[in-house]
Amino acid sequence: MAVITCIDDLKRLHKRRTPKMFYDYAESGSYTEQTFRENTTDFQKIRLRQKVAVDMEGRSTATKMIGRDVAMPVALAPVGLTGMQRADGEIKAARAAEKAGIPFTLSTMSICSIEDVAAHTTDPFWFQLYVMKDEDFVDATLERAKKAGCSALVLTLDLQILGQRHKDLKNGLTAPPKLTLPVLLDLATKWQWGFEMLQTKRRFFGNIVGHAKGVSDASSLGSWTAEQFDPKLDWSKIARIRDQWGGKLILKGILDEDDARLARDFGADAMIVSNHGGRQLDGALSAIRMLPKIREAVGPEMEIFMDSGIRSGQDVLKALALGANSTFIGRAFIHGLGAMGEQGVATALEIIRKELDITMALCGEKNVHDLGRHNVLLPTGFL
């Protein structure tokens, strides 16, 4: 591919260069994938209002996320198995985020450990926690994140039971992959992926393997995680984790007005309006559709981030226009990583930054803080 101009180009390269099992893992949703699809198609239904003869010099995409200066209203979302898209993927993505001046969030289910990422970056990153039944494991993990200098905890609330993704079952997803004949045939054309993977010195699932009781290698991890996601997660458990953490807290996976009010009253520093990229409750409304309802429910003061479906700077602008203070991206950066490693993530971020900047100019806006409902036209029945 000669010139890469959009996230879709990176997605095509990602598909070509990464084992099918891991590409499918990223590019899928649960059950019928209705919510996964609508996360992106609903963005396309939102139209932008063009403005002319407005001074557009001196524009800025800079803002703050929970008090931290960011170059644009975008952070990298926690993505499990990032290090299977490319060897050392979490380190590569974190470094690209650092260079772009935006936060990186490390998933509990990452391949590289908290310490691996800390050793290869200088900016503090954010850590995402899945609440497990084993409180000793949770507390020890929080201590490790604090020690590594993580400056915020992203607590994911929408995955206490795993949404079923058909492709993962059909592909027999494991990390590392089992070297079956179909996998070997697939790898034959993706040798660079395999070559880089063989070079890595990281221990797989470094946040869990060797830290959780009874998990000494990646093969014993599957059964541990399946039985460890805590189905009893409630606000009292969230409060216990908040007290144990003691730092900035972002609640992820809010998609309902009542839950949003509870999250606000609980005193979270921010919430992420998200349906986990359509990977959990299939049939839920898209996150961009729920966003204005949630903004209205919690009022103007609460810091709201939004993810699920963002594939361009135009989408970022639309999310801000409908009430988000900032956004997170998942697949948009994963496509960059799978396509071209660290350089690919950097390319994805630069594409989005430039799209946001140019679209702001054509909408007659100089500052991300001024974006609002006046910038968009919504189809009947959207709200």
Active site residues: 276
Query: Restricting to residues 200-259, which ones interact with ligand FNR according to CB under 6 A?
Result: 252
Which segment (135-143, 195-203, 205-213, 301-309) binds ligand FNR by CB under 6 A? Answer: 301-309
Whole-number minimum distance, CB 128 to ligand FNR, in Å?
5
Rounded least distance, CB 196 to ligand FNR, Å: 19
Applying CB under 6 A, among 18, 107, 113, 228 the residue interacting with ligand FNR is 107
| Closer residue to ligand FNR (CB): 277 or 292 | 277
Binding residue for ligand FNR, selected from 19, 73, 177, 277, defined by CB under 6 A:
277
Nearest-angstrom CA–CA distance, 360 and 275: 27
Count, residues near ligand FNR per rule CB under 6 A: 24
Residues 6+ apart with CB under 8 A from 235: 262, 266
Q: Phi and psi dihedrals of 173, rounded to 5? A: -55, 125
Minimal CB distance to ligand FNR: which residue?
Answer: 330
Of 25 and 125, the one with the shorter C-beta distance to ligand FNR is: 25
Say if residue 289 is exposed, middle or buried (CB neighbours under 10 Å; 0-12, 13-18, 19+).
buried
Tell me the three-class secondary structure of 97-139, residue by residue: HHHHCCCEEECCCCCCCHHHHHHCCCCCCEEEEECECCHHHHH
6 touches 351 (CB < 8 A): yes
How many Cβ atoms are within 10 Å of 296's Cβ, its own excluded? 13
156 makes contact with ligand FNR (CB under 6 A): yes
Alpha carbon 186 to its chain centroid, in Å, reads 27
Position among 165, 276, 295, 335 found at the interface with ligand FNR (CB under 6 A): 276
329 binds ligand FNR per the rule CB under 6 A: yes
Residue 83 binding ligand FNR, by CB under 6 A: no
Query: E strands along 258-373, which residues?
Result: 270-273, 304-306, 326-329
In the complex, the residues that contact ligand FNR under the rule CB under 6 A are 25-26, 39, 77-80, 107, 109, 128, 156, 252, 274, 276-277, 279, 307-310, 329-332
